[in-house]
């Protein structure tokens, strides 16, 4: 039985990716996103961004990882994320260091798989967390919204979460502080709502502000995507490829900065 790893899965955004869970076997997160594909965040596990989990890797992590990596010499990404927000674990770097050592001892057919981190960006206002996050070679940071109303509706953050402006500021800092060879990618999940009383983040006021935020953050890449599995809320559904393409063009027109690449997936 595997305790820490999932897959590998073929991902449109990462290539062949092996998932690493660094959290206990239940979802724990600072957000309760309406579209979350692992279900709603239980009230007791919706935690503030300064909450810390002490969950060190057991000796099994190294063995489990080494045995799987030996089977996939063409892997593209070792991807930390899954049961919630991985930066909540105080032992995140212990996991990363082991993954680094195991990767260095493997034979690869092409480039080594990148050490990748998913974060919902809520903890990045803390310098100590940015210090940890920037150790990852490929940082996938969530920014679905850029207005506080959209933030509250879409991500339903813990009430001690920083507001969206503070999160955007922390992403600017992270980009300034990280080393140039490590990449910062902003991921924006855009969705629709069947519920007439619920405005999804697929609205122009949100997209206008998102463009301004992206212009300030200047990430290496922006990935626009949508829901692909069953969302936490019944009224959420995916946008189609035509709309994704329209959003990319809309953002590009507003941003007017050719150094910021925006793709849709
Ligand atoms: S941040 Fe990620 S894990 Fe947390 S609720 Fe949102 S989609 Fe789910």
Q: What is the pLDDT of residues 168-194, one digit of tens each?
A: 999 999 999 999 999 999 999 999 999
Q: Which atom of ligand 1 is nearest to the CA of 83?
A: 3
Q: Which atom of ligand 1 is nearest to the CA of 30?
A: 4
C-alpha 215 – ligand 1 centre gap (Å): 24
- Around ligand 1, the residues with Cβ closer than 6 Å are 29, 31-33, 36, 38, 41, 84-85, 120
**Which is nearest to 232 in space by CA: 31, 39, 32?**
39
C-alpha 256 – ligand 1 centre gap (Å): 30
Q: Is 259's pLDDT higher than 90?
A: yes
**Which is nearest to 182 in space by CA: 139, 224, 121?**
139
C-alpha 38 – ligand 1 centre gap (Å): 8
Q: Is 80's pLDDT higher than 90?
A: yes
Q: Is 82's pLDDT higher than 90?
A: no
Q: Is 13's pLDDT higher than 90?
A: no
- Do the strands 183-189 and 114-119 form a parallel or antiparallel pair, or are they unpaired? unpaired
pLDDT of residue 171: 98
C-alpha 123 – ligand 1 centre gap (Å): 13
pLDDT band at 74 (very low <50, low <70, confident <90, very high): very high
Determine which residue's CA is closest to atom 2 belonging to ligand 1: 84
Q: Which residues pair with 139 in a beta bridge?
A: 117, 184
pLDDT band at 140 (very low <50, low <70, confident <90, very high): very high
C-alpha 99 – ligand 1 centre gap (Å): 23
Report the topology of domain 5-264.
TIM Barrel (3.20.20)
Give all strands (DSSP E) within 77-211, no chain letters: 77-81, 114-119, 138-142, 183-189, 191-193
Determine which residue's CA is closest to atom 3 belonging to ligand 1: 84
Q: Is 46's pLDDT higher than 90?
A: yes
Q: Which atom of ligand 1 is nearest to the CA of 27?
A: 3
pLDDT band at 12 (very low <50, low <70, confident <90, very high): confident
C-alpha 219 – ligand 1 centre gap (Å): 21
Mean pLDDT of the chain: 97
Q: Which atom of ligand 1 is nearest to the CA of 38?
A: 8
- Alpha-carbon distance of 214 to 248, in angstroms, equals 12
pLDDT band at 16 (very low <50, low <70, confident <90, very high): very high
Q: What percent of the chain has pLDDT over 90?
A: 98
Q: Which atom of ligand 1 is nearest to the CA of 81?
A: 3
Taking a C-beta distance cutoff of 8 angstroms, is the pair 164, 146 a contact? yes
pLDDT band at 1 (very low <50, low <70, confident <90, very high): confident
């Amino acid at each position: 039985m595997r305790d820490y790893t999932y897959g590998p899965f073929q991902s449109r955004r990462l290539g062949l990716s092996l998932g690493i869970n660094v959290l206990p076997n239940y979802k724990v997160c600072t957000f309760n996103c309406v579209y979350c594909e692992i279900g709603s965040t239980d009230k007791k596990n919706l935690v503030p961004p300064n909450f810390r989990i002490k969950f060190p890797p057991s000796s099994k992590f190294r063995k489990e990882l080494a045995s799987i990596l030996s089977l996939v010499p063409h892997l593209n990404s070792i991807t930390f994320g899954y049961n919630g927000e991985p930066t909540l674990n105080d032992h995140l770097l212990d996991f990363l260091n082991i993954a680094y050592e195991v990767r260095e001892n493997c034979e690869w057919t092409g480039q080594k798989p990148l050490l990748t981190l998913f974060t919902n960006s809520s903890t990045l206002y803390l310098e100590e967390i940015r210090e940890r996050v920037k150790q990852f070679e490929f940082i996938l940071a969530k920014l679905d919204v850029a207005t506080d109303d959209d933030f509250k509706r879409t991500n339903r953050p813990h009430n001690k979460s920083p507001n969206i402006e503070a999160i955007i500021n922390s992403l600017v800092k992270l980009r300034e502080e990280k080393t140039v060879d490590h990449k910062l990618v902003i991921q924006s999940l855009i969705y629709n709502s069947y519920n007439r009383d619920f405005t999804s983040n697929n609205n122009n006021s949100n997209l206008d502000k998102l463009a301004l935020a992206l212009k300030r953050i200047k990430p290496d890449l922006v990935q626009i995507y949508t829901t692909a599995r069953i969302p936490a809320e019944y009224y959420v559904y995916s946008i189609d490829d035509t709309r994704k393409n329209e959003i990319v063009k809309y953002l590009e027109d507003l941003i007017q900065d050719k150094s910021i690449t925006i793709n849709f997936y």
